[in-house]
Chain A
């Protein structure tokens, strides 16, 4: 099996400041990779640099579409836009960053569908209802504005909006970050089901090791912009080899 996404020696600087350096990643279809580390360690810079939100200074990003391997940093801007709308998706920590608040819930979900050329109102409407159902938002809310939604509902709406075009690779930056724990559990359950049912490949950033433990197959531990340890998620958390990872794991409060 071929990796669906591979990142080689990626670097991103802000002036002289290191954003992330020498980063590598291999993501296979159906796999979830977690990126952890304290705030300021470069997690968000890394995920933004590999998803098209930021332009890295150097490195290689290869995306396998099934028919061809795409060199993500070398392709034209228009092809990149198309990829970002179809094969890739980005779920922001704050759902307000990923949604249009002055457009109805249904309108938000249909945006990506229309951008890839779907025009049949009936079909679009049907797909919207299917996705509202999948993320457990009541159908009666389809024409409501997102600003009337709770935080947890907004996050579920953002997930529906992103997944409606069946993207292959999903990037998530702290998707359960601002949510209370009962809502967080629901989102985690939803994400896990979607990953399995749709065979999604996911890169997820979180500072919460428990979230990563439940979702991720593999893990990258970052510190000062670099990966200090990476590997099988269970192994890195149960038998960390690097002193920083040991510190991180041993600092988690037991409930």
Chain B
């Protein structure tokens, strides 16, 4: 379960005339287990910012964020690190990896955090890469030279290889063709059916409908915009 209570978020740009940008005021949101919430609203309204606050990348000035009853509290970074290891998964929009590391190892990594049986983990990674139509010949190459769609599927494989109780998805299907899009959406539905609380940004109506997502227009749940 993901809960945001009365969140205020602003950016203060110290080196640009101390400009204050209020992004959210009194933002409230709740995502139940087995539910998918799709954030909507025009670009720049703060969709990604919500995911980043939940994942701990962004601080917020007041209010509370709870993940399965654990507070996101930046005075204890250790707790956020533990939450990321055990509870929250995040599929970002862009792949950020160490150059020259093979695709298969990148996909294995999150699972190796909790399972030290390398062969078993490798098998699971191969399975999900096959499912996502990543050609076998690419597995031992770094994804940095892959096409946009391939990179995105590697990112999805890495994010979905584990069963996180809470899952954050930032446009996981944005640059995929329709066949691969359906594959990714089916994977996400599987996670939902297994009881994950899922919140995401999906730019197309098709994905949101396919996932049977509860759509939330951010402009309607925060006083700021």
Interface residue ranges, A against B (CB under 8 Å): 1, 26, 28, 31, 181-182, 185-186, 188-189, 192, 196, 213-214, 217-218, 231-232, 234-235, 238-239, 241-243, 246-247, 250
Q: How many residues on B have C-beta within 8 angstroms of the other chain's C-beta atoms? A: 24
Name the contact of A231 in the complex, choosing from B12, B13, B74 (C-beta under 8 A): B74
A-side contacts of B99, CB under 8 Å: 181-182, 185
Name the contact of B59 in the complex, choosing from A213, A241, A250 (C-beta under 8 A): A241
Is B80 in the interface zone, CB < 8 Å from A? Answer: yes
Name the contact of B98 in the complex, choosing from A214, A231, A247, A250 (C-beta under 8 A): A214
Q: Contact: B58 with A189, CB < 8 Å? A: no
Q: How far is the CB of B160 from chain A (nearest CB, A)?
A: 20
- For chain B residues 20-63, which have a beta carbon within 8 Å of chain A? 52, 55-59
Q: Contact: B15 with A243, CB < 8 Å? A: yes
- Measured in the bound complex, the distance between the Cα atoms of B96 and A246 in whole Å is 21
A-B contact count (CB 8 A): 65
Where chain B touches its partner, the secondary structure class is loop
- Measured in the bound complex, the distance between the Cα atoms of B137 and A223 in whole Å is 47
B-side contacts of A239, CB under 8 Å: 11, 52, 57-59
Query: What are 18 sample pairs from A and B whose C-beta atoms fall under 8 A apart?
Result: A182-B100, A185-B99, A188-B98, A189-B98, A189-B101, A213-B96, A231-B74, A231-B77, A232-B56, A232-B81, A234-B56, A235-B59, A235-B74, A235-B80, A238-B58, A239-B57, A239-B59, A247-B15
Is B113 in the interface zone, CB < 8 Å from A? Answer: yes
B-side contacts of A218, CB under 8 Å: 77, 81
Name the contact of A28 in the complex, choosing from B59, B78, B80, B96 (C-beta under 8 A): B78
Interface residue ranges, B against A (CB under 8 Å): 11-15, 52, 55-59, 74, 77-78, 80-81, 96, 98-101, 109, 112-113
Query: Closest residue of chain B to A27, judged by CB?
Result: B78
Query: Closest residue of chain A to B101, judged by CB?
Result: A189
In the complex, given contacts A196-B112, A213-B96, what are 19 additional A-B residue pairs having Cβ atoms less than 8 angstroms apart? A1-B78, A31-B81, A185-B101, A189-B100, A189-B101, A196-B109, A217-B81, A218-B77, A218-B81, A234-B55, A234-B56, A235-B56, A235-B74, A238-B52, A238-B58, A239-B58, A241-B59, A247-B14, A247-B15
Query: Closest residue of chain B to A187, judged by CB?
Result: B98
Contact A235:B14 (CB < 8 A) given known A188-B98, A189-B98: no
Name the contact of A196 in the complex, choosing from B55, B80, B113 (C-beta under 8 A): B113
B-side contacts of A31, CB under 8 Å: 78, 81
Q: Contact: B98 with A192, CB < 8 Å? A: yes
Most buried by B among A232, A235, A250: A232
- Measured in the bound complex, the distance between the Cα atoms of B57 and A89 in whole Å is 31
Q: Contact: A232 with B77, CB < 8 Å? A: yes
Q: Contact: A246 with B100, CB < 8 Å? A: no
Contact A234:B14 (CB < 8 A) given known A186-B100, A189-B101, A196-B112: no
Q: Contact: A234 with B57, CB < 8 Å? A: yes
A-side contacts of B58, CB under 8 Å: 235, 238-239
B-side contacts of A241, CB under 8 Å: 12, 59
Q: Contact: A185 with B14, CB < 8 Å? A: no
Q: How far is the CB of A7 from chain B (nearest CB, A)?
A: 15
Name the contact of A232 in the complex, choosing from B14, B74, B100, B113 (C-beta under 8 A): B74
Q: Contact: A246 with B98, CB < 8 Å? A: no
Q: Contact: A238 with B57, CB < 8 Å? A: yes
- Measured in the bound complex, the distance between the Cα atoms of B55 and A238 in whole Å is 12
Query: Closest residue of chain B to A237, judged by CB?
Result: B57
Q: How far is the CB of A142 from chain B (nearest CB, A)?
A: 25
- Measured in the bound complex, the distance between the Cα atoms of B142 and A185 in whole Å is 11
Q: Contact: A243 with B14, CB < 8 Å? A: yes
- Measured in the bound complex, the distance between the Cα atoms of B80 and A238 in whole Å is 15
A-side contacts of B74, CB under 8 Å: 231-232, 235
- Measured in the bound complex, the distance between the Cα atoms of B13 and A145 in whole Å is 53
5 nearest A-B pairs in the assembled complex, by CB-CB distance: A243-B14, A185-B99, A232-B77, A238-B57, A239-B58
Q: Contact: B56 with A246, CB < 8 Å? A: no
Most buried by B among A28, A231, A234, A238: A234
Q: Contact: B100 with A185, CB < 8 Å? A: yes
Q: How far is the CB of A181 from chain B (nearest CB, A)?
A: 8
